[in-house]
Amino acid sequence: MASDTFHIVYNNLREEIVKRVELEHQIIYFTLLTFGAVLAVGLKSENTTIFLLYPVLIMFLAATWSDNQIRIGEISAYIKERIAPMLGEDIVGWELAQQKRFYAGFSGFRHILLTSIGKRALFFGSQAIVIILVFPMVMQKSDSTTSIFFLIAVISTLITLAILAFFQPPAIMPPESHR
């Protein structure tokens, strides 16, 4: 009977992970779409406001994406530490094997490089590109409102960098000997 409960909990947690991963992908797609739109419209019209609002929007998207990463890590850790021992390797064996493979040697480095750094760089990198592009426009305008918006954009970019650097999912160590 307890095994049935653990199966239900496991399936519900896996569904939540899938939904959170889907949300992460939507955030990444929206970030790319917004980046392209801001570049197209901003460069054509030389409108600094469009450029300067982008880093603020991305700061919030990066925070949401990062929160999802943390929750997925917590759920994965819970499955590994609490559910897997109760269900056995027959049910969660694939998940444990994937964790073991991801954290072994070069494969582990590649996994970290592609998933963590690559996706995180999208947020910060696109903000940095926008700030670099808008900087000459801001210097030409030299009005106080544009300067304040530029400062807010730079601060938003630094906050994004801090969010992405310091708020990360819990480390899931490779399964010891789940056979």
pLDDT at 34: 97
Per residue, what are the HEC states of the chain?
Answer: CHHHHHHHHHHHHHHHHHHHHHHHHHHHHHHHHHHHHHHHHHHHHCCHHHHHHHHHHHHHHHHHHHHHHHHHHHHHHHHHHHHHHHHCHHHHHHHHHHHHHHCCHHHHHHHHHHHHHHHHHHHHHHHHHHHHHHHHHHHHHCCHHHHHHHHHHHHHHHHHHHHHHHCCCCCCCCCCCCC
Q: What is the pTM of this model?
A: 0.82
pLDDT in 10s for each residue of the chain, 179 residues: 467 788 888 889 989 999 999 999 999 999 999 999 999 999 898 889 999 999 999 999 999 999 998 998 888 888 878 887 777 665 556 566 556 655 555 556 666 666 677 888 999 999 999 999 999 999 998 789 999 999 999 999 999 999 998 887 765 555 454 43
pLDDT the model gives residue 179 = 39
